[in-house]
Amino acid sequence: MKPSIKTQGSTESILSYIRPEVFPTPFCPGCGHGILLGAILRAIADLGWDMDEMLFVSGIGCAAWIPSPHFAADTLHVTHGRAIAFATGAKLFNPALKVVVIGGDGDLASIGGNHLIHAARRNLDLTAICANNYIYGMTGGQVTPTTPLGVRTATTPQGNSEPPFDLCRLVAAAGATYVARYSTYHIRPLIRSLKKALTHKGFAFVEVLSPCPTQYGRRNKLPQPGEMLQLMKEECVSLQRAEGMSEEEIEEKILIGEFVS
Ligand code: SF4
């Protein structure tokens, strides 16, 4: 792919990848999705890629708004949960296209969960970025398959009683050949991981823990975005650091890093 920018990763170069007329974003103040939006563009800028040779596919939900309408690129904004299916079709039609799916946990892991595991099983040459905020944000704060135990949502007012998926373990077990998890707090390793995922041949999956102060935080006594980022900092532990920890110590932690690479 031909580079279309001179200064890699700079704010200036990233600005050439966005549609200025759609800013400010529709995200609530403090939403992690704006940080993720910037991280994805920074990764692409670092790679020096031409957005004309990329396609971004998203379904429904707050995270689906990250590429569409913000990115100055071709975007497909499709039905709820079906982003991977549409992305598969686009990739089959034009294998030279770099196809990137961006969605939330409700979109990719619940309604689109079947597409996710089968894309991993087939090791399709796609990059999937899942902004996991543990809740359906746009549709009203319902429980998702990643909502932690005990968390209050619109549909679990007494606290979620169902065990959540570990998305990285799920997708890795299904056959994905690049799998990683970071949060919007861990911005530098996240950008490095996104670059690896984008250049990976095969199904690459990056889970990005992204705070939702509006639907998740307010219901769970964490209304301040800073508190949510602080919690991510405290709860996340790298796979390398976890090697030296006991099972009891790891139990309450969220592992971040590359699960398959
Ligand atoms: S509802 Fe949550 S995920 Fe959606 S924009 Fe607001 S803070 Fe972000």
Contact 102, 84 (CB under 8 A): no
pLDDT of 1 over the 50 cut: no
Is ligand 1 within 6 A of the CB of residue 132?
A: no
Q: Cα–Cα distance between 112 and 102 in angstroms, integer?
A: 12
Q: Which is the CATH superfamily of the domain at 11-232?
A: Thiamin diphosphate (ThDP)-binding fold, Pyr/PP domains (3.40.50.970)
pTM (two decimals)? 0.94
- The lowest-confidence range among 18-22, 32-36, 44-48, 240-244 is 18-22
Atom of ligand 1 minimally distant from the CA of 213? 7
Residue 212, ligand 1, Cβ within 6 A: yes
**Closest atom of ligand 1 to CA, residue 28:** 6
Residue 112 in contact with ligand 1 by CB distance below 6 A: no
Is 214 within 8 Å of 232 (Cβ atoms)?
Answer: no
Q: Ligand 1 atom closest to Cα of 131?
A: 3
Bridge partners of residue 161, in order along the sequence: none
Q: Is 60 in the pocket of ligand 1 (CB under 6 A)?
A: no
Distance, CA of 131 to CA of 137 (rounded, Å): 11
Distance CA 149, CA 160 (A): 5
Please state the atom number of ligand 1 nearest to the C-alpha of residue 32.
8
- Helix (H/G/I), strand (E/B), else coil: 44: helix
Among 25, 36, 62, 146, the mutation site with the greatest number of ligand 1 atoms within 8 A of its Cβ is 62
* Stretch 185-214: mean pLDDT: 97
The pLDDT tens digits of the residues spanning 207-247 come to 999 999 999 999 999 989 999 999 999 999 999 999 999 99
Residue nearest ligand 1's atom 1 by CA: 137
- Which residue is closest in CA terms to ligand 1's atom 2? 212
pLDDT per residue over 126-176, tens digit each? 999 999 999 999 999 999 999 999 999 999 999 999 999 999 999 999 999
Over range 17-38, report the average pLDDT.
92
Summary mean pLDDT of the chain = 94
Domains of the chain, by residue range, sit at 11-232
213 lines ligand 1 (CB under 6 A): yes
